[in-house]
Structure 1
Amino acid sequence: MFAVYAKEPNADDPLASLVVGDRPDPEVPEGWVRVRVRAASLNMHDIWTLRGVGIKPEQFPMILGCDGAGVLDDGSEVVLHSVVNDESWHGDDTLDPKRTLLTEKHQGAFADSVVVPARNVLPKPAGLSFTEAATMGTAWLTAYRMLFVKSGLRPGQTFLVQGASGGVATALIQLGRAAGFRVWATGRTEEKRALAERLGAHQTFEPGTRLPERVDGVFETVGKATWSHSVKSLKPGGIIVVSGSTSGPDPSAELQRVFFLQLRVVGSTMGTRDELADLLTYVDLAGIRPQIGAELPLAEAEHGFRDMLDGTTAGKIVFTHDPA
């Protein structure tokens, strides 16, 4: 079958490992289902896989793509849930010590088809296109859990989103505006800040700018480049919810400010199947449509990977595919 995959780990030049070609058709174990992929979105996780992070060398070649949407053999239209749990696990999907994401142990969705446990597919809302639905399972689910499950913030409060043009950040802006929060965001360029405002941010700022007032919460996916600003932007007792550190960790961590002002720092990773179901219902009921920065045929996936590496994203990059 046609697929986009990583042939080997390459920490220094990840795109040198990217291959657009053929892979064997997957077998469908008992209790699993085959999804004919119609659209799949690109995530930073795919860049990390190319670099060999979170995956053992012997697991290559690995088809990339940890979320997407498509059609079951019976014609049902579905969205993928990317977190694959151990069969014996009961509880929060994200706390299972044996959990994996697609592309870590099991082959991913950048292909004609992907095989997943039956519980890892959910009905696609009729109001969402395959392209829109393909963004839900990773970036939007991460944002939903950060805001509605982890932050404890209430509508009417103010939060800051660092790095306004990425998939999680644009989702946070759209979700927060729809839910009645005052949303502020930072962006490196005028174009990125303008995008954030079009998506619903009430105000935008250059990175590191002193804000008009301190905020109730900050959502962090950037790390070292923005961490000090995030801590300094919080009210006493405020919260930072962290789901990534794309610029690397900050070894200073501003710990004196954290303890003196009794700030809270909370980690958040992906989300559960139930949360994804709620997210799909919410965006459908609220009429929210995700920001698609680029829509490319799967065969042209390398262009999308280059844009992500260069930081030129303006929302989600989605690869569309119509398997024969």
Structure 2
Amino acid sequence: MKAAFIIGHGGNEVVKVRACEPVKRRPGEVLVRVEAATLNQVDLYMRNSGAGITHQLPQIMGLDAAGVIEEVDASETLLTVDQRVVIHPGITCGRCEFCQRGEGVLCTKMQLLGEHRHGTFAQWISVPAQNVFPMPQGLTFAQAAAMGVNYLTAWRMLFTKARVKPWETVLVFGIGGGVSLAAMQLAKAIGAKVIVTSREDSKLERALAMGAAHGINSKTQDVAKTVMAYTGGRGVDVVIENVGEAVWSIAMKSLVRGGRLVTCGATTGDQPPADLRRIFIRQLQILGSTHGDFSEFRALLSFIEQSGIVPVLDSEYPLDRIHEALTRLESGQQFGKIALQLMA
């Protein structure tokens, strides 16, 4: 089979597509023929350094995927050969205190595909049966693959952490990125009003065409002041952000009293000013969030099918052109997910 490996750390020169031994399925696992996967920021991080993440080189890249089951245990009752499926990339131990109480996303021994073990940028992958879920109807493989990281991350941020209600207003930073677009689509689908930011007018225009209530150019406008003007001086109920230091102060100033800020990233730095006085006087809630567990993934997939949400794809590439795909992601110019076609 063919797979994309990182063989060192640096730029695209350390990413190689090459033939390797076929995957062998173990008891309790499901062998999936991977039709499509999507790129995530962590793919760039693993290529660049992977610092702080235990891994061995060479390693197959990729976290999320969608494909078709080729082999499964004869005793398996929920999954069948030839079934279209999506993969949850978090392999949990099932035995730590967090797994035991149903919070696998906090597993102390979590192994993520493409980070701690071989990932999904391969034509076949074998994963535990608990990590394989039926694919929502009406989606392509590339669209379904996007569910495993970005949409699941946004789902947990919005509905588990922030507990967004239909009558609330949500501010989403950096529209165009995968998590941000997913958050906008999901919040809008329940009836919430969504304000988005971007440094590019073209991205704001696309978001408005998709149903965003208001767009703010963070390069030419004062985001906090614009939010306050738009909300009549009140502020938003929830902020969804994965940027970190560069927007932290703005995000805090944009919140209504008692508002909630949910963060899942720190691409511009992880040491913003705490602004403790604002936090306690205005009784703000700061919530950290990463990925999502199996029950959240199941709920997300059901919601996607019922709501008719279609993930936004920026572009699709065959596996052999992964360097172009990584360069596109690194440019920050994308609007939506960048996908790989593994069997093309």
CA deviation vs aligned residue, 1:237-278 (integer Å, no higher than 9, x gap): 100011111112133132221122111100111011111111
SS at match of 1:55: coil
- Where does the alignment leave 5 or more consecutive residues of structure 2 unmatched? 71-80
Question: By how many angstroms is 1:109 displaced?
Answer: 0.7
**2:46 aligned with 1:35, yes or no?**
no
Contact 2:94 2:104 in 1 (8 A): no
Q: Which amino acid counterpart does residue 102 of structure 1 have in structure 2? A: L
Where does residue 332 of structure 2 map in the other structure?
Answer: 311
Runs of 4+ that moved beyond 6 A: none
Give the equivalent residue in structure 2 for 1:52. 50
SS in 1 for 2:24: coil
Q: 1:22 corresponds to which residue?
A: 19
Q: Which residue of 2 aligns with 1:231?
A: 252
Partner of 1:106: 117
- 1:240 maps to 261
Amino acid at match of 2:215: T
Residue 130 (structure 1) shift: 0.7
Letter of the structure 1 residue corresponding to residue 183 of structure 2: L
Shift, 1:173, TM fit:
0.7
Query: Compared with structure 1, are the counterparts of its residues 247 and 291 closer, same or farther at alpha carbon in structure 2 (3 Å cutoff)?
Result: same
Letter in 2 for 1:202: A
Write the distance in 1 (CA, Å) between the matches of 2:27 and 2:183: 37
Which digits, 9 at most, give the CA deviation of each residue in 1:184-222, with x for residues without a partner?
A: 010011111112212221101022422123111100111
Is this contact kept in 1: 2:36–2:66, CA < 8 A? yes
Equivalent residues of 2:244, 2:272 under 8 A apart:
no
Q: Give the match's secondary structure for 1:49.
A: helix
Deviating more after overlay: 157-166 vs 19-28: 19-28
Aligned counterpart, 1:78: 85
Is structure 2 residue 146 aligned with structure 1 residue 149?
no
Question: TM-score with structure 1 length normalisation?
Answer: 0.95
Q: How far, CA to CA, are the matches of 2:11 and 2:278 in structure 1? A: 37
CA contact (8 A) 1:156 1:180 kept: yes
Aligned partner of 1:198 in structure 2 is 209
Query: Conserved in 1, the CA contact under 8 Å of 2:31 and 2:124?
Result: yes
Alpha-carbon deviations, 1:49-104, whole Å to 9, x = none? 112234335x1111111001001112111100111101424221111111121112
Distance 1:262 1:152 in 2: 17
Which letter does structure 2 place at the counterpart of 1:6? Answer: I
Q: Structure 1: which amino acid aligns with 2:265?
A: G
Between the aligned partners of 2:308 and 2:87, the Cα distance in structure 1 is: 20
Q: What is the rounded CA distance, in whole Å, between the counterparts of 1:247 and 1:295 in structure 2?
A: 27
Q: Deviations over 1:124-148 (max 9, x none)?
A: 1222211110100100000011111
Q: Give 2:54's aligned amino acid.
A: K
Aligned to 1:226, the other structure's residue is in SS state helix
Within the candidate set 311, 320, 338, 1:290 is matched to 311
Amino acid at match of 2:91: V
TM-score, structure 2 normalization: 0.89
- 2:298 aligned residue: 277
Corresponding residue number in structure 1 for 2:272 = 251
Secondary structure in 2 aligned to 1:146?
A: helix
Preserved contact between residue 227 and residue 250 of structure 1 (Cα < 8 Å): no
Alignment of 1:106-125 (within 5 A): 106-125=117-136
Alignment RMSD: 1.4
Give the one of 184, 195, 199 matched to 1:188. 199
SS in 2 for 1:266: strand
Query: How far off is 1:19 after superposition?
Result: 1.2
Within 2, Cα distance between the matches of 1:60 and 1:274?
A: 32
Tell whether 2:301 aligns with 1:301.
Answer: no
- Please report how far the alpha carbon of residue 158 of structure 1 lies from its aligned counterpart in structure 2 after TM superposition: 0.4
Q: Percent identity?
A: 38
Larger Rg: 2
Aligned residues: 319
Work out whether 1:219 is the aligned partner of 2:240. yes
1:14 CA drift (Å):
3.3
- Aligned partner of residue 24 in structure 1, secondary structure: coil
Specify the alignment match of 2:3 in structure 1. 3
1:265 aligns with 2:300: no
Task: State the distance in 1 between where 2:3 and 2:287 align.
Answer: 37
Distance 1:216-1:42 versus aligned 2 partners, 3 A rule: same
Taking the aligned partners of 1:54 and 1:284, their CA distance within structure 2 comes to 37
2:73 counterpart residue number: none
